Structure 1
């Protein structure tokens, strides 16, 4: 069976606005991420020498500006050092939020002309997970109703190619969906 590009999605997130949304008391945004996504993002932020902030840890720091940042000697070669006022955990979560949005856009492009299979108010964002392997390469994994509807609309063998990046005050995700081409 021939596969081809069925959809492309891209999304960009303003890190400052995203971090502010995460920091709001009682925000529902925290539920948009699976436990595995939160863990990976926390580990990535901590590996870069930053204390976790942004409502996903027991850190006593209430201000992102007070969190330790990597020094030049602790930053891996080629890595971007976060700005002094930037929440490193929010930086990684923002890229994953962008990926969730980009996945929906790519899937929607593949279904052009057909109604959405899941009502936006019933979509569970945590059912769209962006996880990285041991070498930091991202992929998406689906659960719940999202997984069922993707299988129903695209088949079980759809491939999702994901690229994440963050620079300056933005995070971006690019998703290419490959699936069976219609006959």
Structure 2
């Protein structure tokens, strides 16, 4: 059987709005990320100096960001803008990837109803994980993995590119798999 591009998805996220959503008490957005995604984003942010005394602590595994800069900033410290929060930048790129995966999958199913109702989709089942060299890929779990296998087969490949610059994060996803026939 021949393989080829089955779908393409792209999504862009406004970093300021995303960081503000993360900072809201009780936000459900934090549950959209798997423990692996949160850990990898925290490690990438810390590697770029995110865990210094600027108020953005990443020590809490249940909360991807802390927005209490006044409580821990030294006197005279400049509080970073929300779109400059390194942890939020990495999580925003992964959020964009989740959206792009759904768009690529939907493109592959053109003309057919979605196998999972949008309000029942568990976003944490769509993971963007990186290898030891920082190269991203998609790993599916739970009902999302079962439905992708049922609708597209077991042999699909997700090609992912993530980027963030200025006030935006973007993800581009190409879904490859067996073509009909």
TM bucket by the smaller chain?
A: 0.7 to 0.9
Q: What's the counterpart of residue 116 of structure 2? A: 118
Deviations 1:24-45 (A, max 9, x none): 0000000000000000000000
Give the alignment's Cα RMSD to 1 decimal. 2.3
Question: Does the 8 Å contact 1:117/1:149 carry over to 2?
Answer: yes
Question: Does the 8 Å contact 2:51/2:58 carry over to 1?
Answer: no
TM-score (norm 1): 0.85
Deviation at 1:63? Answer: 2.9
Q: What's the counterpart of residue 172 of structure 2? A: 174
Three-state SS of the structure 2 residue aligned to 1:114 is coil
Three-state SS of the structure 2 residue aligned to 1:92 is helix
Q: 1:101 aligned to 99, 102, 115, which one?
A: 99
Q: What's the counterpart of residue 157 of structure 1? A: 155
Q: 2:59 aligned to 57, 71, 77, which one?
A: 57
Deviation at 1:140? Answer: 0.4
Three-state SS of the structure 1 residue aligned to 2:94 is helix
Deviation at 1:67? Answer: 7.1
Quick one: distance in 2 between partners of 1:107 and 1:37?
Answer: 21
TM-score (norm 2): 0.86
Q: What's the counterpart of residue 6 of structure 1? A: 6
Deviations 1:38-71 (A, max 9, x none): 000000000111118768534876139x779xxx
Deviations 1:119-145 (A, max 9, x none): 111100000000001111000000000
Q: What's the counterpart of residue 27 of structure 1? A: 27
Residues paired across the two proteins, number: 168
Question: Does the 8 Å contact 1:45/1:51 carry over to 2?
Answer: yes
